[in-house]
Amino acid sequence: MTPMLLYMHIPFCDSKCHYCSFNSYVDKFHLKQRYMRALHIQLQEDLQRFQVMPHSITSLFIGGGTPSTITPELYEPLFKTLHPYLCTDAEMTVEVNPNSATHSWLQGMHHLGINRMSFGVQSFHNEKLRHLGRSHNRDDAIGAITAASELGVEHISLDLIYATAFDTPTLINEDLKQAFALPIDHLSAYALTIEEGTVFQHQPDVAIEHLEQTRALFATIEQYGFTQYEISNFGTYTSRHNLGYWQHRPYLGIGAGAVGSINHQRYYPHRDIEAYLEAPCFTTLETLHSSDIKREQLFLGLRSIVGIANHLLKATEQQRARVLVDDKKLTFKQGVFYNNDYLLSDEIALFIED
Ligand SMILES: C[S@@+](CC[C@H](N)C(=O)[O-])C[C@H]1O[C@@H](n2cnc3c(N)ncnc32)[C@H](O)[C@@H]1O
Ligand code: SF4
């Protein structure tokens, strides 16, 4: 039985953050109920189409957009359908925006079986949050995370954004201090990237990365006791879903703008919400050639604890990887090359690749 991951996309947001290019709408709330029905139709179809076996889904990730814009009642039919396909200890994550995570919403999702919540905090500084175009403040974030913990949610994560023009080393250290004062077992720290079609596209100078500051950030997070298991992810708990992507496990992708990957094919449902509502089961297929798969394994493996197995590399590539072992950039253990510095992962991958 092949273990499988499931990603579910919720394309609604209360407002659009200045940096974000994820598929989400701020003016289509009237479509929520129809959207959840369409999502259910695609879920049922995909479970059949890909002959998903009972108990084979090891993780569910509900992402967005903003999953906390949808009431637990609207998720319920999907969870009912999904239940027989989930393994007994499935990791079930939902992304949560601090401004829309009411106590009853958190409780409702927990009752449905959600055992991991990932909060889009970005910063605990209200001024920085305003610059990023966020619609929550520091107290909303602290309140929502505390409430989730009091409800007994097993795993709690939060996202921070760094490498912005609004940062100083002091601000970043204060954000980390506040993050670690909360009951979290996981933290994602993302360097700001400038994306097309966002407010920041016209202000590219707001993204500034100083590598020595990034290294200091990583070191501080480790001092708080979290292990880095990917360039942007740290924890005392390793997310099974995240790790599954980097290990190239098959995943179902449901919802407008989601992506699935199964049997060496990637599939894309409609990105446009109206087109998706018309035809939730329509997908565009992309065949992955073995060279594409190997390239991804190389880049993802070097960004994470997954590493790259020696047997995946050609003889010339193995030779170059060994040069990097001598240079202490990589470590070789039981047939796998591991990266010692994730910030160099792309350069190392390009150096090794034929
Ligand atoms: C897809 S978003 C959804 C999460 C949720 N809607 C929220 O914002 O709270 C997941 C995370 O991606 C990160 N992110 C999105 N766009 C980014 C960008 N351009 N640069 C860096 N991080 C970004 C943010 O940290 C965000 O919390
Ligand atoms: S960061 Fe989250 S809340 Fe902001 S626009 Fe993107 S998906 Fe929506």
DSSP, residue by residue, 307-328: -EEGGGS-HHHHHHHHHHHHTT
Using a 10 angstrom Cβ sphere, with 0-12 exposed, 13-18 middle and 19 or more buried, the burial of residue 38 is buried
- Are 198 and 120 contained in the same domain? yes
Instruction: Indicate whether 77 pLDDT > 90.
Output: yes
| Residue 294: inside a domain | yes
| Average per-residue pLDDT for the chain | 97
Determine if ligand 2 sits within 6 Å of the CB of residue 120.
yes
Q: Is a pLDDT exceeding 80 seen at residue 1?
A: no
Q: Is 66 in the pocket of ligand 2 (CB under 6 A)?
A: yes
Please list every protein residue whose CB sits less than 6 Å from any atom of ligand 1: 19-20, 22, 63-64, 66, 95, 97, 120, 122, 159, 161, 190, 192-193, 195
- In a shared domain, residues 232 and 341: no
Residues 164 and 21 in one domain: yes
Q: Which of 214, 246, 278 is the last residue of a domain?
A: 246
Does one domain contain both 199 and 325?
A: no
CA 326 / ligand 1 centre spacing (Å):
37
pLDDT in the model for residue 2: 82
| Inside any domain, residue 69 | yes
pTM over 0.95: yes
Mean pLDDT, range 41-50, rounded to an integer: 97
- CA-nearest residue for atom 2, ligand 2, is 65
- What pLDDT, on the 0 to 100 scale, is given for residue 203? 96
pLDDT at 210 (0 to 100): 94
- Centroid of ligand 2 to alpha carbon of 320 (angstroms): 41
Pocket test for ligand 2, best of 12, 15, 22 (most atoms within 8 A of CB): 22
pLDDT, average across residues 237-248: 96
Q: State the average pLDDT over residues 70-81.
A: 98
Residue 70 lies in a domain: yes
Tens of pLDDT, residues 299-331: 999 999 999 999 999 999 999 999 999 999 999
Which of 159, 200, 208 gets mutated to test ligand 1 (max ligand atoms within 8 A of its CB)?
159
In a domain, 133, yes or no: yes
pLDDT of 71 over the 80 cut: yes
Taking CA atoms only, the protein residue closest to ligand 1 atom 21 is 192
Q: Give tens-digit pLDDT for 100-146.
A: 999 999 999 999 999 999 999 999 999 999 999 999 999 999 999 99
How do residues 329-353 score in pLDDT, each as one tens digit? Answer: 999 999 999 999 999 999 999 999 9
In whole angstroms, give the CA distance from residue 32 to residue 242.
27
pLDDT at 95: 98
Residue 235's pLDDT band (cuts 50, 70, 90): very high
pLDDT, tens only, 4-31: 999 999 999 999 999 999 999 999 999 9
For ligand 2, what atom is nearest to the CA of residue 120?
2
Tell the residue nearest (CA) to atom 6 of ligand 2: 20
User: Domain check: are 294 and 196 in the same one?
Assistant: no
At 111, which CATH number?
Answer: 3.20.20.70
Q: Are residues 305 and 175 in the same domain?
A: no
User: Rounded to whole angstroms, how far apart are CA atoms 52 and 71?
Assistant: 27
Domain extent at residue 111: 4-246
Q: Could you say which of 246, 277, 302 is where a domain stops?
A: 246
Residues 187 and 333 in one domain: no
- 17 CB near ligand 2 (under 6 Å): yes
**Is 264 domain-assigned?**
no
307 in the same domain as 213: no
Q: What was the pLDDT predicted at 146?
A: 98
Cβ neighbours of residue 159 closer than 8 Å, sequence gap 6 or more: 118, 119, 120, 121, 122, 187, 188, 189, 190
Q: Are 6 and 61 in contact (CB under 8 A)?
A: yes
pLDDT exceeding 90 applies to what percent of the chain? Answer: 99
**Do both 237 and 296 map to the same domain?**
no
Q: What is the mean pLDDT of residues 60-81?
A: 97
Ligand 2 centroid distance, CA of 52 (Å): 31
Tell me, yes or no, whether 178 and 294 share the same domain.
Answer: no
Pair (241, 294) in one structural domain: no
The protein residue whose alpha carbon is closest to atom 3 in ligand 1 is: 64
Cα separation, 212 vs 171, whole angstroms = 16
In whole angstroms, give the CA distance from residue 271 to residue 257: 4
Residue of 10, 16, 62, 190 to test ligand 2 pocket, by largest number of atoms within 8 Å of CB: 16
Q: Which ligand is nearest to the CA of 163?
A: 1
Mutation choice for ligand 1 from 105, 190, 192, 206, CB with most ligand atoms inside 8 A: 190
Q: Give yes or no: residues 58 and 201 share one domain.
A: yes
Q: What is the mean pLDDT of residues 248-262?
A: 96
| Interstrand relation of 330-333 and 336-339 (parallel, antiparallel or unpaired) | antiparallel
How many domains is the chain partitioned into structurally? 2
The reply to whether 281 falls in a domain is no
Q: Is 270 a member of any domain?
A: no
CA distances from 299 to 177, 178, 323, 329, 330 (A): 32, 33, 18, 15, 14
The pLDDT of residue 53 is 96
Instruction: Give the ligand whose atoms come closest to the C-alpha of residue 95.
Output: 1
Cα of 159 vs centre of ligand 1, distance in Å, is 7
Tokens of 287: 């065949």
pLDDT at position 294: 95
Query: Could you say which ligand is closest to the alpha carbon of residue 13?
Result: 2
Euclidean distance between CA atoms 203 and 279, whole angstroms: 37
Could you tell me whether strands 227-230 and 260-262 are parallel, antiparallel, or unpaired per DSSP bridges?
A: unpaired
Q: Residue 290 — pLDDT band, cuts 50, 70, 90?
A: very high
Paired sense of beta strands 57-64 and 4-10, if any: parallel
Residue 345 lies in a domain: yes
Examine the fold and report which residue of 216, 246, 276 is the final residue of a domain before the chain moves on: 246
Write the DSSP string, 132-150: HT-S--HHHHHHHHHHHHH
